[in-house]
Amino acid sequence: MSNPLPRLRTLSEGRAMVVTDLHGDWDLYRWYRDHFLRLRARGLADYLIFTGDLIHSEGPAQFDKSLEIVLDVLQLREELKDNLIYLLGNHEMPHLYGVTIQKGDVTYTPRFEAAMGEHRRAIIELFDSLPFFVRTRAGVAICHAGGAAALATPNGQTAILHFSHKETLAKARAMLSPEQLPILREVYARQTQEPYEQAAQRLLAIQGPDDPRFNELLLGSIVSAYIPEFQLLWETLFNKNEYEYGEARYTHILETTLHALSFGFKPQTVLVSGHIVCPNGHKIVAGKQLRVAGGVHARPYDSARYLLFDVSRPVSSVQMLLDDLKSVFG
């Protein structure tokens, strides 16, 4: 029987350990993994939830263990099955679309594109399968970024909760006729001031024009500019919450997100996410969101936190979750 809401997981009983944004930090990933397995062996945890952004370190390449983490997650899924939940983050998503993301002087995607190598197919299939949200009988919903304006309308809710990356890419491919490709490559080169083949090799780690992925930079440009569903996905994963919308508007977005995730189930009262830097490892946003920093987003780093809570125990306010925040470094 297929999942009627493929991008939404529903949990009704058990204890969940929620870990946010590790960005290639192998040592911290291994600590969380091993700590969860110890808790699970003692009957103290049932679900391990990664909220996305396991990949893309900003540091030197030798310290970026993004590939090792994702390969370990693939292996761990064989053991934990549905008890391992990996949500799509804004750093995983671009690899499905040939989209390059950067912040300041840091361009994130090329290093991981090159690292995937022979593992690329398995990793892309993993990323393609990832849900976007978790909801629980406790009334605690979980996602990567936070409240999403895309969920404010019935059409947006349908698009996001039933999202198909394959269908979205197919719409973009239908707009790329073979006759247009040489012209589009020339346009791309003029806009970027870099020969298209050189850019494709640098950004996507392809071997040359005969590579079946040679035109993916063009595909990424088309999908990001002309496919409405992709715009909804981008807003859902990349938005900066109250920093982007302001407190008043974001409070409304947060409320509509919780309402949308409640449909046909228990009312969702609190949203848990990562994605944004937190002083002392966590922050309460708009009274209904708990932002947790599991690693690199904690300021200072040794204030990193994770959440361990009972998914069946009713939570009526974000303050009720504060006792469930646990320190990584004691």
- The pLDDT tens digits of the residues spanning 195-250 come to 999 999 999 999 999 999 999 999 999 999 999 999 999 999 999 999 999 999 99
Helix, strand or coil, per DSSP, at residue 94: helix
As a CATH number, domain 8-148+267-327 is: 3.60.21.10
Would you call 141 helix, strand, or coil by DSSP?
A: strand
Q: Closest Cα partner for 196 from 211, 119, 102? A: 211
Model-wide pTM > 0.85: yes
Side-chain half-sphere CA neighbours of 172 within 13 A: 27
SS3 of residue 84 by DSSP: strand
Query: Which among 74, 112, 117 is positioned nearest to 93, based on CA atoms?
Result: 112
Helix axes 181-192, 196-204, angle to 10 degrees: 80
Neighbouring-strand partners of residue 142? 134, 272
pLDDT at 1 over 80: no
- CA-nearest of 321, 277, 323, 274 to 300 is 277
Question: DSSP 3-state assignment of 104?
Answer: coil
Q: What is the pLDDT of residues 26-44, one digit of tens each?
A: 999 999 999 999 999 999 9
What is the DSSP code (8-state) at residue 101?
Answer: -
